[in-house]
Structure formats: C-alpha cells, structure tokens
C-alpha cells in the first residue's frame, strides 16, 4: 500500500468509501457518530483544496482508504477533560475510513502508521460506540487521554481522545 494526497478526481471513490463507513458504523452499533451524511462532500473538497486529505492505494492504484492529516494544532483539542501526554507539536488524524472490500484489510492501520512516521506524536478522537476504531487504536498503542467536545463543528457531542507518542 501507499499514501498520496487526495485529488478531486478521487472524490467519487472517496465519497463511496465514506458511505460504506457510515453503513459499517450503523451495523456495528455506532450509527450516531457520522449519521447518514457526515462528512459532507463540501468538507472533503475543502480538505482536498487545503492539501490535508490523503488516500491509501493498493499497489495497483486502487483507492481503499481516506483520511485527513494535519500538523497544525487542532482547536477541538485545546480543551480536554483529562490530559494529553505532552504539549509537543503533534499530527492529527480525522475522518479516517476504509472501503469494505477485501483489498482494504489493514488499510486503517497502514494509514495511522504512515501518519506516525511523519510525526511521532499523533492525536486522534472517536465516538465511544466506534468499537472497530477503539480496537485499532488499542492495537496500535494509542493511549486514552480524556474527552473532547466537537461543538464548534456542529453538535456532534463528546469524543474519546487518544494520543500516541514515539
């Protein structure tokens, strides 16, 4: 697998991956995190324009995952009910999703490992009902730090916040 920046040509497959992720979330008891329309296409277009959206491709060039990655401080992480592991510069991952197809197996771990190679200090959050993501974060050595709130992004409520430090 390999990682590259998302282009506008990737938009149809990226939006399909997000639709599949919403379906899997609903099937695994996490229908509230993204509901039936998050992330909206306009947000993904803005991520692409800002150079902050990435895709994971198979060796044959098939897009199997998508995520947002940034290395500037995230305002949603300014306040936490708990404590971050450090105050050093960090990378942040949002909106990570993988396709349902077999070729996508392991893509989530690959994406998070790539991010950690770029910045060995990563912060990420997820909904408490997102059991697959919680398991992935645990398996990759992320540590629970506390609760953050996503109010300014819309009323999406609390999220469990994690950090991994190299």
Residue 97 in contact with residue 20, Cβ under 8 Å?
A: yes
Predicted local confidence at residue 154, as pLDDT? 45
Whether 2 and 64 have beta carbons less than 8 Å apart is answered as no
Gyration radius from the chain CA atoms: 15
Please name the residues in contact with 146: beta carbons below 8 A apart, sequence gap of 6 or more: 80, 81, 82, 83, 84, 161
pTM of the model: 0.90
pLDDT in tens, 18-57: 999 888 878 888 777 777 788 999 999 999 999 999 999 9
Domain annotation for the chain: domains and CATH numbers: 2-165 (3.40.630.30)
Q: What is the pLDDT of residues 106-138, one digit of tens each?
A: 999 999 999 999 999 999 999 888 888 999 999
Tell whether the model's pLDDT for residue 92 goes beyond 70: yes
Q: What would the pLDDT profile of 133-143 be if each residue is shown by its tens digit?
A: 999 999 999 99
């Amino acid at each position: 697998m390999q990682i590259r920046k998302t282009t506008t040509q990737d938009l149809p497959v990226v939006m399909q991956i997000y639709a599949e992720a919403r379906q899997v979330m609903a099937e695994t008891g996490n229908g509230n995190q993204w509901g039936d329309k998050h992330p909206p296409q306009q947000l993904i277009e803005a991520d692409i324009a800002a150079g902050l959206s990435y895709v994971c491709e198979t060796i044959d060039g098939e897009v199997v995952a998508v995520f947002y990655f940034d290395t500037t401080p995230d305002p949603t992480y300014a306040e936490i009910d708990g404590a971050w592991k450090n105050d050093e510069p960090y990378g942040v991952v949002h909106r990570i999703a993988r396709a349902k197809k077999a070729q996508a197996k392991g893509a989530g771990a690959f994406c998070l490992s790539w991010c950690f190679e770029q910045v060995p200090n990563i912060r990420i959050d997820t909904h408490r009902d997102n059991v697959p993501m919680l398991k992935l974060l645990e398996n990759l050595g992320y540590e629970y730090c506390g609760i953050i709130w996503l109010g300014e992004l819309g009323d999406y409520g609390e999220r469990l916040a994690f950090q991994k430090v190299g």
